[in-house]
């Protein structure tokens, strides 16, 4: 993992990971403090900062990922290219680029902010709750994904029609449609009218 001022404080000298802390925020995205990751997702959930990335290929197809079966939250479901949480004090843009590389082994050739969305999505399967103030990013990917199998089970590039078909038969993350709909204006600007988003 690249060492930045934010990530340096989340690695210990003996190689073991510290408890992962999330940045708690108010309804306007102003930082209030921190909480341990799992406790922030326990019902009713604590509002925290998150990010969602949507990357597209040269044909305007969206890169989806299927979350690894070993993940404690929403394992095996399909979702957007990458999502996660910045470390406390880490810029959402930097966190989005970092996690995209860590999970998928690719760096976006373009990454742009696409607004924010606030939501409350319980996950019936795990009993956890997503209370998130989510920073959205859209961009382009030109390299083939090389996913980390501990994070990602499978990837797929889909057109809007293929997404509709897949969404009708496969299980997607509870937050997927909320973040996609919020990012659509930026997605359309990025991919152009012919892509159909």
Catalytic residue among 23, 130, 132, 151: 132
Is residue 132 flagged as an active site residue?
A: yes
CA distance 189 to 77: 28
Q: Does residue 44 have a cis peptide bond before it, meaning omega lies within 30 degrees of 0?
A: yes
**Strand blocks (E) in the chain:** 21-25, 31-36, 48-56, 62-67, 78-79, 82-84, 110-122, 129-140, 152-158
Catalytic residue among 82, 83, 103, 130: 83
Written as six digits, the tokens of 59 are 């044909």
Residues paired with 79 in a beta bridge? 65
CA angle 159, 171, 101 (to 5 degrees): 65
SS3 17: strand
Contacts of 141 by beta carbon, 8 Å cutoff, 6+ apart: 55, 56, 57, 63, 81, 106, 108, 109
Can you tell me the distance from the alpha carbon of 50 to that of 188, in angstroms, rounded to the nearest whole number?
22
Q: For this structure, is 151 an active site residue?
A: no
Question: Active-site positions?
Answer: 83, 132
């Amino acid at each position: 993992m690249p060492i930045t001022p934010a990530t340096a404080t989340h690695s210990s000298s003996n190689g073991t990971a510290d408890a992962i802390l999330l940045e708690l925020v108010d309804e306007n995205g102003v930082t209030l403090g921190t909480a341990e990751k799992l406790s922030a997702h326990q019902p009713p959930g604590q509002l925290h900062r998150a990010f969602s990335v949507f990357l597209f290929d040269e044909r305007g197809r969206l890169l989806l990922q299927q979350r690894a079966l070993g993940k404690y939250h929403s394992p095996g479901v399909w979702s957007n290219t990458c999502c996660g949480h910045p470390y406390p004090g880490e810029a959402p843009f930097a966190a989005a680029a970092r996690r995209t590389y860590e999970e998928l082994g690719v760096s976006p050739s373009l990454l742009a902010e696409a607004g924010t969305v606030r939501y409350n999505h319980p996950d019936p399967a795990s009993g956890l709750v997503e209370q998130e103030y989510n920073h959205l990013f859209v961009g382009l990917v030109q390299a083939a994904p090389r996913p980390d199998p501990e994070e990602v089970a499978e990837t797929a590039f889909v057109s809007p029609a293929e997404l509709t078909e897949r969404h009708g038969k496969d299980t997607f993350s509870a937050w997927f449609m909320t973040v996609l709909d919020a990012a659509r204006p930026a997605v359309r600007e990025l991919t152009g009218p012919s892509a159909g988003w």
